[in-house]
Structure 1
Amino acid sequence: MSRAQRLLDLIQILRGHRMPVTGAVLADQLGISVRTLYRDIATLQAQGARIDGEPGLGYRLRPGFMLPPLMFSEEELEALMLGVRWVAERGDPRLGEAGRNALAKIAAVLPTDVRDALDASSLLVGPGEPPIPACVDPAAIREAIRAEAKLRVVYRDLQGTDSTRTIWPFALGYFDNVRVVAAWCELREDFRHFRLDRFSALERLGERYPKRRHALLKAWRERQGVRAQSVFAPARI
């Protein structure tokens, strides 16, 4: 768990306690040492979190505290809502659920009037073709990307020929009805794009690939001649 995520989790835990909670309890819930907990408390206080208390007595988060990054404009909130709605419609179930959970966390700390505006957002996702079913779980691909882990896959190409590949996945693209993995292919010794609906088997190997994910992504973008904000080139799928 990253430190940023831990700080967010700490805020959420403090919100769940009406009475002061000791550092030992907080540290246990976060799986960290009490000394690390004290440093995290001090960091949040320095960032403006209104946390009352001190070591040995317990801590309490004052009501109404809102993290500065969550002070969104109306258009930013609409963009978030539209994005989550798109993910819920076009993404896989786990990703859709994660998006809804993230939005709920944001809504929980927004002022009532802003939260009501978020709930009443009129930006909708239009109908489209449903994603082509895949035999593998996209969540397993995302986990491998985060871990920079090699995958062994069985892939069927456009000619209907199956081949076993060892790939280094570094990006996953979501189109309206297909999902595409960008990866370095050890068999071809080059970048390749793989449609998830053409995987018939997937196995995560117990080793990391030798290059960092961001380095592969940068090299792939340079090869494609695209900007950082661009997505996969459909012609190469």
Structure 2
Amino acid sequence: MSRSQRLLDLLQLLRNHRFPVPGAQLAATLGISLRTLYRDIATLQQQGADIAGEPGMGYVLKPGFTLPPLMFSEEEIEALVLGSRWVASRTDTGLSLSAKSALSKIAAVLPEDLRHSLDSNGLMAAPSASPLAESVDFVAIRRAIRHELTATLTYRDGKDQSSRRVIWPFLLGYFDNLHILGAWCELRGDFRHFRTDRIISLELNATRYPRRRSALIKQWREQQFPDRPAQ
């Protein structure tokens, strides 16, 4: 186990206890000596963890302390790397570049041993078999979703018939060889799913749609997956 992983595990142990925990108990749980435990606690205190206590009295992590956001376990790093690689290979250009940039920023601030895990990770996301041609502005779509804006859409369906409608975008799904925009359609008065490769044009409107995105997603899930328990 790396030292960074051990420090993270120690913090997690302390967070699970409301009252002081004897040092011997912490050391036994982590499989380390008391001397190593004392050094690790001193290191965490120097890094800002508000740990109270002393040898013979036990240790407690005071309420309000949150784990540093860049202290990841090795499995968490593997999940981040795999997820970022999937995004980089299976989504639109904007998200792909953002995923690569985020991974670089994480690598720059990780401890050396965890940075090595990031660089030498053996997990791979296979590239899309047939990358989609991007005919729509995904940045605009994500902005509409994020800010709950209505949009005017011109769409060509599977029968090659075009229509123009006002929609409330709330969901963007990335599949292996297909991207789907989920929205409430004012023309149909119901939820509709639009393949992004069939969108002829999409213009954002200045008006926000009258419902919250969370409410739309909840209703959409209830209609699409009626047998699933509520989340």
TM-score tier by shorter-chain length is 0.5 to 0.7
SS state at 1:154 partner? strand
* Cα separation, 2, equivalents of 1:161 and 1:134: 20
Give 1:174 deviation, angstroms.
0.2
SS state at 1:203 partner? strand
Give 1:67 deviation, angstroms.
6.1
- Are the equivalent residues in 2 in contact too, given 1:131–1:178 (CA < 8 A)? no
SS state at 1:166 partner? strand
Matched, 1:82 2:68: no
* TM-score normalized with structure 1 length: 0.66
Q: State the partner residue of 1:181.
A: 181
Assess, with a 3 A threshold, how the Cα gap between structure 1 residues 203 and 159 changes in structure 2: closer, same or farther.
same
- Are the equivalent residues in 2 in contact too, given 1:155–1:163 (CA < 8 A)? yes
* Cα separation, 2, equivalents of 1:189 and 1:180: 19
* Cα separation, 1, equivalents of 2:190 and 2:161: 19
* Cα separation, 2, equivalents of 1:222 and 1:125: 31
Q: State the partner residue of 1:222.
A: 222
Q: State the partner residue of 2:201.
A: 201
Give 1:69 deviation, angstroms.
2.5
Q: State the partner residue of 1:160.
A: 160
Structure 1 stretch 185-194 or stretch 128-137: which is displaced more? 128-137
Q: State the partner residue of 1:129.
A: 129
Q: State the partner residue of 2:15.
A: none
Q: State the partner residue of 1:72.
A: 72
Assess, with a 3 A threshold, how the Cα gap between structure 1 residues 98 and 171 changes in structure 2: closer, same or farther.
same
Amino acid aligned to 2:88 = A
Assess, with a 3 A threshold, how the Cα gap between structure 1 residues 67 and 103 changes in structure 2: closer, same or farther.
farther
- Are the equivalent residues in 2 in contact too, given 1:183–1:193 (CA < 8 A)? yes
SS state at 1:68 partner? coil
Alignment of 1:1-237 (within 5 A): 48=48, 68-225=68-225
- Are the equivalent residues in 1 in contact too, given 2:178–2:195 (CA < 8 A)? yes
Assess, with a 3 A threshold, how the Cα gap between structure 1 residues 228 and 112 changes in structure 2: closer, same or farther.
farther
* Cα separation, 1, equivalents of 2:204 and 2:89: 28
* TM-score normalized with structure 2 length: 0.68
Give 1:116 deviation, angstroms.
1.0
* Cα separation, 1, equivalents of 2:200 and 2:223: 28
* Cα separation, 1, equivalents of 2:117 and 2:101: 18
Query: What RMSD in Å do the two structures reach over aligned CA positions?
Result: 2.4
- Unpaired runs of 5+ residues, structure 2, are 1-46, 50-65
* Cα separation, 2, equivalents of 1:228 and 1:140: 33
Give 1:228 deviation, angstroms.
8.7
Deviation per CA, 1:206-236: give whole Å up to 9, x if none: 1000000111011101111165999xxxxxx
- Unpaired runs of 5+ residues, structure 1, are 1-46, 50-65, 231-237
Give 1:93 deviation, angstroms.
1.3
SS state at 2:89 partner? helix
SS state at 1:202 partner? strand
Give 1:159 deviation, angstroms.
1.1
How many residue pairs get matched? 169
Give percent identity, aligned residues only.
56
- Are the equivalent residues in 2 in contact too, given 1:84–1:99 (CA < 8 A)? yes
* Cα separation, 2, equivalents of 1:197 and 1:81: 28
* Cα separation, 1, equivalents of 2:78 and 2:229: 23
Give 1:76 deviation, angstroms.
0.9
